[in-house]
Amino acid sequence: MDLVLFDLDNTLLAGDSDYEWAQFLIDRGVLDRSTYESANDRFFAQYNAGTLDIREFLAFQLAPLARHPRAQLDAWHAEFMATKIRPMIGAPARNLVARHRDTGALCAIVTATNSFVTAPIAREFGIEHLIATEPEARDGAYTGGVAGIPAFREGKVARLEQWLAALGRTLEAFPGSWFYSDSHNDLPLLERVKHAVAVDPDEPLRAVAAARGWPIISLR
């Protein structure tokens, strides 16, 4: 059995679910536009530049989850899936996932975006396993905090190793391992797998992939 890992935002999706979730809440009037839109744009720019403080960003991104009951959040998310996410999913991305899944590979999405936002997206792709940043919850309600290690940069490697250990496996034991990503922020995990694949990569990752002979593909 091989291991196949997929980044989500700007890899399987033709867009960023983290950014779009905040924009969706702004457009719905749930978040104040004057306060949140500039912050959302600023964090997105920092992510692209490789300067994002993940803890500062998560304090911004997870706070709205603590302000509303889960039933309301789920209703908003269903609309978010229909209006924002499904239009970002192209046939090439679905086909890539299906091709690996049909070989019997162990497939997982590994994403810095929190699991409230991404779990329904993983299900949309038919991917059972999700390694994502986990929002802290108590008695079924979100607190606005983070549980465990954020799945960002080196944190993706740590969270992957934790997940595999729980399965009684190690990354090195798989005969084949793949990771598909668009971002230079994912270099720590791309460097650990046997087959790193750059998907519609940002310029820093494109340069690394070209220098190291990694495949560069497009799902757009």
138: which strand partners?
Answer: 141
Distance CA 46, CA 40 (A): 10
Distance CA 102, CA 96 (A): 10
Query: What 3-state class would DSSP assign to 56?
Result: helix
> Can you read off the two tokens belonging to residue 102?
């049909």
The type of residue at 42 is R
Rounded alpha-carbon distances, angstroms, from residue 52 to 87, 106, 135, 152, 153: 27, 30, 18, 10, 10
CB 199 within 8 A of CB 181: yes
Distance CA 197, CA 150 (A): 23
Which contiguous run of DSSP H or E holds residue 47?
helix 33-49
- CB contact set of 24 (below 8 Å; sequence gap of 6+): 76, 79, 80, 83, 84
Pairing of strands 141-147, 129-138: antiparallel
Residues with catalytic function: 7, 9
